[in-house]
Structure 1
Amino acid sequence: MPVPRTAAVSAVVATALAAGLVCAASSQAAAPAAPVQAKIHDIQGTTRISPLSGQQVTGVTGVVTGVRAYGSSKGFWFQDTAPDKNPATSEGIFVFTGSNPTVSVGDALEVSGTVTEYVPGGLSSGNQSLTQISKPTVTVVSQGNAVPAPVVITARSVPDRYTPNGDPAAGNSVNGLTLQPKKYATDYYESLEGMNVRVGTSRVVGATDPHSELWVTVKPQENRTARGGSLYSSYNDQNTGRLQIQSLIPTAQQAFPTANVGDTLTGTTEGPLDFNQFGGYTITARTLGTVKDNGLKREVTRKQRTGELAVATYNVENLDPSDPQSKFDALAQGVVTNLASPDIVALEEIQDNNGAKNDGTVDASATVKKFTDAIVAAGGPAYQWRSIDPENNKDGGEPGGNIRQGFLFNPARVSFTERPGGDYKTAVGVTGTKGHPALTLSPGRIDPANPAWTDSRKPLAGEFVFKGKTVFVIANHFASKGGDESLLSQHQPVPRSSETKRLQQARAVNAFVKQLLAADKHADVLAVGDINDFDFSGTTKALEDGGALRSAYRTLPKKERYSYVYQGNTQVLDQVLTSPAIRGFDYDSVHINAEFANQTSDHDPQIIRFHP
């Protein structure tokens, strides 16, 4: 049975205070209001917040359309068979029971209870809410009734604009705005919240994940990539056709399908439209289509030529020695086969020798040895490793894991310029005569005392020599997007608070690159790694400031610019940026993970080949 991640603590929005649930000014409890006789569309109302939030309702009638008897958000959906004529009011609603429901699909019910607004992730998340009935009293009137006919969601029914801007007088919240289901996609979905809906054959845009969820789009041509994804290419184009799919069917009856991006979910998928923390609007399928495998293959890049230097970046997702050998072997195969054994590989998320065990260990030599041994076993070169151990629990990531960046390099092709003295607290500088810049430390960390790097990974700079030419490589892992509100935040436009830190980090890296270019405007400099931001973001623009760097993605066709898939949006997180002297290069985002249900990492590696 799939267990969705939507079961956070239920929260009642602040409107419940005004509705009389709490009386802070009186020591004498107010008498409870009389229950309100209501229809489901009366409860749902024409905004995202119920006009009856916090109130007792009674005599609510409808037919059960779905039952969720797993996870901690147990309950059922039911729907009125006598709808009103207002397209903004939903006729379906979720009833939270907290224990296994005793009703079945097709039961006609009369329900009483309290109207609440459940905010997946809690009030601090900024998420929109799910209107539901809590603490219910349920009377089964009859059984075996037909389920209300589904609303069929199609490319034509979903508007092209994603969501309205919020009300400035309400902190940019959309909660109080009247729904316009013919104008905005999220208003359309909200007007169907809790109702029985259906999608037909649809393209998969987010692979099956470990929580038995996948993503489809009802808009076949919306920002379609060559490999079948939906490209997220601007803050104003959020791919309105995306919907998450979960299943209400016990796995003993039907296993949840395994699908990759570009596959097709064929036939009919039908069930109540839910709203949850990790997917937003989600069809909880009572009837689930079948997956047609469209044969997505993992990409293999070409081998670098004799005079080309190949530099790659790869986030290996919290790698530590306790991971199964199969993960090391698969990552090694990715380096050797899919990346064709680059000369230099900047790695992100190498954990210390005991992973998440929080005992002060920071050395990662065992992690690296297990990885480099696996590369040799896969037929790759005997890479050497250079890095700097972080200060314990000061670089963010999993507590105790002490993730860091580091360089693998093939000594048969490239040499590493050693300059001792680099440690977690000492800043690398630029020295050397005009036209011949050098690092004061190699490897060395860039500006580690800068507050921009508090609880975040510090950039690692290394100096390499390839065929007599010096190349500077900066391995980065910028601050994550944790803390940002989702695309379905009640606040629109969506606040992106984490970007502030990444902007500071980008400016620090940009300033360091400018020091190198001040010494030699023709210096070959690469800034690579998990930038944790889009190619069109302010972070990328700050890295590029003054022409010091340029994102290599700009040389690719727009629909090939991605390294990650999140909630059905194919997008950029990992990047390679080049100094002006690096021209005529060959760049490849090698798609081996992000689009697949079976992933070794959640990131796709990047590679650049050029003549220094």
Structure 2
Amino acid sequence: MTSLRRNACRAVAAITVAGVAGLAVLVAPASAAPSPGPVIAEVYGGGGNSGTTLTRDFIELATAGTTPASVADMSVQYLPGSPSASSRWQATPLSGSVNPGGRLLVAEAAGGGGTVELPTPDVTGSINMSATTGTVALVNGTTPLTCVTAADCAADSRIIDLVGYGSAVVRETNPAPAPSATTSVFRTTSVDTDDNAADFVAGPPTPQNAAGGEAGGPSEATDARIRDVQGTTRTSPLVGKSVRVPGVVTATRGFGSSRGFWIQDPQPDNDPRTSEGLLVFTGSVTPTVAVGDAVTVTGTVAEYRPESGYQTTTELTGATWTTESGGHELPEPVVITENTVPGEYVPQPGGSIESLPLEPSRYALDFWEAHEGELVSVADVRAVSGTTDFDEVFVTTKPNEHPSARGGSVYLGYDQTNTGIVKVQSLIPFSQRPFPQANTGDVLTGITSGPVEYSQFGGYTIQASVLGELKDNGLAPEVTRKRNGGELAVATYNVENLSAADDQAKFDGLARGITDHLGSPDIVTLEEIQDDNGPTGTNDGVVAADQTLKRFVDAIVAAGGPRYEWRQINPQDMTDGGEPGGNIRVGFLFDPKRVSFVDRPGGDATTAVDVVMDEKGKNPHLSISPGRVDPTNPAWQTSRKPLAGEFVFHGKTVFIVANHFASKGGDQPTHGINQPPDRSSEAQRVQQATVLRGFIDKLLAADPNAGLVVAGDLNDYQFSPTLQILTQGDALTALMNTLPENERYSYVFDGNSQVLDHILVSKAVKKVDYDVVHINSEFAQRSSDHDPQIVLFKN
């Protein structure tokens, strides 16, 4: 197979563009007639990124004419994909000419990653382009352009050619596909349709200079076997080398932007550390091979790393192949049973594991790595997650490993990783067979089989070319018990980025959770309430959430619940984290027919709540209600601030603190290259727990018998340092720890049923009945990604 990109040329014609905010606009053409001159042939912005092979970004020019095309006094220019009014084009002046059938290579910025240099560039610039979205223009002159919309750029007669890729605002009609750190966009035909999406495809980058040199310089392919490419560690000993390997095609992926096929050597060696399977990556190009073909593939060995800290996938890029014959039997898959994968998860060297020799009989991650690219099979495996929004489901090969009460796999400690979990995706086009919509506890019956691939989202994955049938085991959403009249019911619920911009179905689903499954609690602490216009991505000044909360309350009433009142404090714009522009915050709902809220004025985004006594030095109360706990403390930087409120139930005061601690974003993955992984986000939650504990201690020092409930999404496990700080001594009891181990979860991540949400109570809160109500986390269809929980007690 020969790539089409080297035959690409273009005749510039009239440009039809899409205007700002998705409004289609027809504008004056950038060039009124086809041009026999220079054009943009290829754009690559991933150079030097983590996981790449090439060290620099580049732009390639070609010509549609039959004579050399001068580019003297021209420039190539770059604009970010989502420019603002203040965005500026960056320009690289050009020199020389482009020969018919040849290329002119413009090298741009270098990064810290990669191992292969570009061929000697014809022109060198320093523009740092995005790997995934941006606009490149070929311009008459070297003065930077000033246009920042598609319409204005199309009207600029200096622009000779233009390509917008990914989500670029400035583009012809539609943008070219989104490339990546390991793919470029390039023209495939000389026919110009005035549509970047039609004229460009994404695939492995192949830089070429005017002299015909390609990346890494001239390189004669070396004959090798797949096991030589895979090696005995996590990275190939042949990275950057051109190799020629034989194999039988075992599976193909002919859709999406990560297309390719897997080959496997039917004559394996006896070394259990060396995989006999390998991915041939073709980007957006559909591979022209069939399962069972015997092929010889020539390509460059690369290690694709999706992000820093993650493992890599060994693959061949820039590949060509010859089909020797078809119809061959496939190698037998490795059969994965309950006892196949080792019980230890991964070595713990206190650093990177990449250079360590694989020990597949000892460690689970080593086992999967030693079978990377090979066919494996599982049979009658239980789902330990609901099918995700990305059509994937996690299953367990070890049904007796930390089973939850409802069919999942519970995560009980940093040293108790569930080694039986593996992710399943499908290589079968959904037009032929939709992906099964599983709930936790359902079973993929029969055989599920396919090659093993590493993913940043969940680790090792079976890319199923044979997919079992789904058996529905009837998991039902839970309903908590009814409270009696003398009990106060306090719940907490992370409603997953709820804003007034959401559709009514989300509000209705959440409302049924409140009424039908939680029994309309007296008080609910809410997390992830967004401002009224939701995640705009900009500092637009909107911080109010009244419309969001009113729609939620109206939906609860429509579902048969009480008309709750709410209390919350608007944050300062863009200071509390979450989705950009969403301004998430915590708040309270309460049923005014059951409890009363003690309103004390003065609470705002930056004023700290305090514990004060009455004029007799008794009866502690809050200085402001609602009030935020030490909101200017650095511990809460770019994070939600706890909200304290004072309630009265049956004549007695109850203090409630709603919380949403800093997320785990930035933590290294459990399946990554660094072991043990760095849980960098934990430091901020420890600081937050310390600040909150200071407020709690002050309240309980003023009244040791104070009724106090601390609730919310603490974004940490029951065994974490964060919870240890909050529960040290006997001031507070973490109710999660009162449940049996197989019931300790409120959230499912990568197939692990785990704890993020908590309710903690003071000693005065007695006769407690506590329940995590599983209505979301285990299901394919859900209203939030968190399960709510509730505590009922006599005050």
1:289 partner amino acid: G
**C-alpha distance in 2, partners of 1:492/1:73?**
28
1:128-179 CA-to-partner distances (Å, cap 9, x unmatched) read 111111111111111111111100111111111111113x5xxx10000111
Contact map agreement 2:233 2:358 (CA 8 A) in 1: yes
- Aligned partners of 2:495 and 2:217: how far apart in 1? 59
| Structure 1 residue 18 displacement after superposition | 12
Contact 2:53 2:115 in 1 (8 A): no
The aligned counterpart of 2:622 is 439
Residue 265 of structure 2 corresponds to 80
- CA 1:353–1:279 in structure 2 vs 1: closer, same or farther (change >3 Å)? same
Is residue 333 of structure 1 aligned with residue 512 of structure 2?
A: yes
What does residue range 20-99 of structure 1 map to in structure 2 within 5 Å?
21-22=116-117, 32=218, 34-58=220-244, 60-98=245-283, 99=285
CA distance in 1, matches of 2:362, 2:434: 37
Taking the aligned partners of 2:527 and 2:777, their CA distance within structure 1 comes to 16
Who is 2:542 aligned against?
361
Query: Which residue of structure 2 aligns with residue 401 of structure 1?
Result: 582
**Partner AA of 2:638 in structure 1:** D
Give the Cα–Cα distance (whole angstroms) in 2 for the partners of residues 103 and 17 of structure 1: 36
| Distance in 2 between residues matched to 1:272 and 1:554, nearest whole Å | 40
Give 3-state SS (helix, strand or coil) of 1:314's partner. strand
Q: Deviation string for 1:233-288 (max 9, x for gaps)? A: 10111110111000011112111111000011100101111111102111111110
Q: What is residue 316 of structure 1 aligned with on the other side?
A: 495
Q: State the Cα RMSD in Å.
A: 2.2
The code of the aligned residue for 1:154 comes to T
What does residue 599 of structure 2 align with? 418
Q: CA deviation at 1:229?
A: 0.3
TM-score normalized by the length of structure 1: 0.94
Give the Cα separation in 1 of the matches to 2:678 and 2:517.
37
Q: What pairs up with 1:524-543 in 2 under 5 angstroms?
A: 524-543=707-726
Matched, 1:177 2:348: no
The residue type paired with residue 611 of structure 2 is V
- Distance (whole Å) between structure 2 residues aligned to residue 76 and residue 304 of structure 1: 58
Partner SS for 2:352:
coil
Aligned residue identity for 2:462: I
- Counterpart amino acid of residue 597 in structure 1: A
Q: Tell me which of 387, 390, 400 is aligned to 1:208.
A: 387
Distance 1:64 1:30, change over 3 A: closer
Match runs of 1:196-275 below 5 Å? 196-275=375-454
Q: What is the CA–CA distance in structure 1 between the aligned matches of 2:299 and 2:470, rounded to whole Å? A: 40
1:522 aligns with 705
Aligned equivalents of 1:470 and 1:278: distance in 2? Answer: 46
Conserved? CA contact 1:510–1:548, under 8 Å: no
Amino acid at match of 1:92: G
For 2:553, the equivalent position in structure 1 comes to: 372
- What is the alpha-carbon distance in structure 2 between the residues aligned to residue 602 and residue 608 of structure 1? 20
- CA distance in structure 2 between the aligned counterparts of 1:599 and 1:210, rounded to whole angstroms: 10
Q: CA–CA distance in 2 between the matches of 1:536 and 1:477?
A: 18
Q: Secondary structure at 2:551's aligned position in 1? A: helix
Q: How does 1:465-476 map to 2 (within 5 A)?
A: 465-476=648-659
Instruction: Give the structure 2 partner of residue 575 of structure 1.
Output: 758
- 1:216 counterpart letter in structure 2: V
Q: Whole-Å Cα distance in 2 between the matches of residues 17 and 356 of structure 1? A: 33
Summarize deviations over 1:338-379 as a string: whole Å, max 9, x none.
000100000111111111234211111111111101111111
Contact 2:447 2:468 in 1 (8 A): yes
Matches within 5 A, 1:157-172: 157-166=340-349, 168=350, 172=351
Q: Percent identity at matched positions?
A: 55
Q: Which amino acid aligns with 1:55?
A: K
Residues 551-574 of structure 1 show CA distances to partners (whole Å, capped at 9, x for unaligned) of 111211111111000111000011
Q: Is the alpha carbon distance of 1:250 and 1:18 closer, same or farther for their aligned partners in structure 2, counting shifts above 3 Å?
A: closer
Q: What secondary structure sits across from 1:206 in the alignment?
A: coil
Counterpart code for 1:91: E
Contact 1:79 1:148 (8 Å CA) reproduced: yes
Structure 1 residue 496 displacement after superposition: 0.5
Q: Which residue of 1 aligns with 2:737?
A: 554
- Partner SS state of residue 328, structure 1: helix
SS in 1 for 2:728: helix
Match status 1:135 vs 2:318 = yes
Aligned letter for 1:11?
Answer: G
By how many angstroms is 1:55 displaced?
A: 1.2
For residues 375 and 469 of structure 1, the distance between their equivalents in structure 2, rounded to whole angstroms, comes to 27
Q: Once the 2 structures are TM-superposed, how far is the Cα of residue 327 of structure 1 from its aligned partner?
A: 1.2
Structure 1 distance, partners of 2:50, 2:668, is: 18
Residue number in structure 1 paired with 2:610: 429
List alignment gaps of at least 5 residues for structure 2: 1-45, 56-110, 125-212
Contact 1:422 1:428 in 2 (8 A): yes
Deviation at 1:543, TM superposition (A): 1.5
Match of 2:477 among 285, 298, 307: 298
Q: Please tell me whether Structure 1 or Structure 2 has the larger radius of gyration of its CA atoms.
A: 2
- Report the AA paired with residue 682 of structure 2: E
Distance in 1 (CA, whole Å) between partners of 2:400 and 2:217 is: 57
**Range 323-332 or range 459-468, more displaced:** 323-332
Deviations 1:74-127 (A, max 9, x none): 11110001101000100001011121111111111101111111012x2x2x00
**CA 138–383 in structure 1, closer or farther in 2 if over 3 Å, else same:** same
Q: More relative contact order in 1 or in 2 (CA 8 Å, sep 6+)?
A: 1
Residue 545 of structure 1, CA deviation: 2.9
Residues in 1 aligned to 2:331 and 2:325: alpha-carbon distance in whole angstroms: 15
Rounded to whole Å, the distance in 1 between the matches of 2:331 and 2:250 is 8
Tell me how far apart the structure 1 counterparts of residues 338 and 281 of structure 2 sit (CA, whole Å): 31
The verdict on how the C-alpha distance between 1:75 and 1:386 changes in structure 2, with shifts beyond 3 A counting, is same
The amino acid of 2:718's aligned partner reads: D
Q: Distance in 1 between matches of 2:508 and 2:701?
A: 43
One-letter amino acid of the counterpart of residue 576, structure 1: I
Shift of 1:33: 5.2
Residue identity matched to 2:771 = D
Matched, 1:390 2:571: yes
Q: Distance in 1 between matches of 2:304 and 2:385?
A: 26
Deviation at 1:583? Answer: 2.8
User: 1:547 deviation in Å?
Assistant: 2.8
177-186 vs 32-41, which moves further: 32-41
Aligned residues of 2:54 and 2:118 also touching (Cα < 8 A): no
**Within 2, Cα distance between the matches of 1:70 and 1:144?**
23
Q: Unaligned 5+ residue runs, structure 1?
A: 1-7
Q: CA deviation at 1:37?
A: 1.7
Alpha-carbon separation, structure 1, partners of 2:417 and 2:492: 27
1:105 and 2:291 are equivalent in the alignment: yes
Letter in 1 for 2:509: A
Name the CA distance, whole Å, in 2 between partners of 1:271 and 1:249: 11
User: What amino acid does structure 1 have at the position aligned with 2:51?
Assistant: A
Shift of 1:21: 2.5
Which residue is 2:106 aligned to? none
Q: TM-score under structure 2 normalisation?
A: 0.73
How far apart are 1:19 and its partner, in Å?
10
Query: Retained in 2: the 8 A contact 1:111–1:136?
Result: yes
User: Are 1:17 and 1:23, in contact at CA under 8 Å, matched by a contact in 2?
Assistant: no
Q: The residue matched to 1:585 in structure 2 has which SS?
A: strand
Tell me the secondary structure at the aligned position of residue 697 of structure 2.
Answer: helix
- Aligned-pair distance for 1:435? 5.1
Q: For each residue in 1:569-595, what CA deviation from the matched residue of structure 2 results, as whole angstroms up to 9, or x when unmatched?
A: 000011001112223311000000000
Spell out the pairing of 1:279-298 with structure 2 (5 A cutoff): 279-298=458-477
Preserved CA contact (<8 Å) 1:19 1:53? no
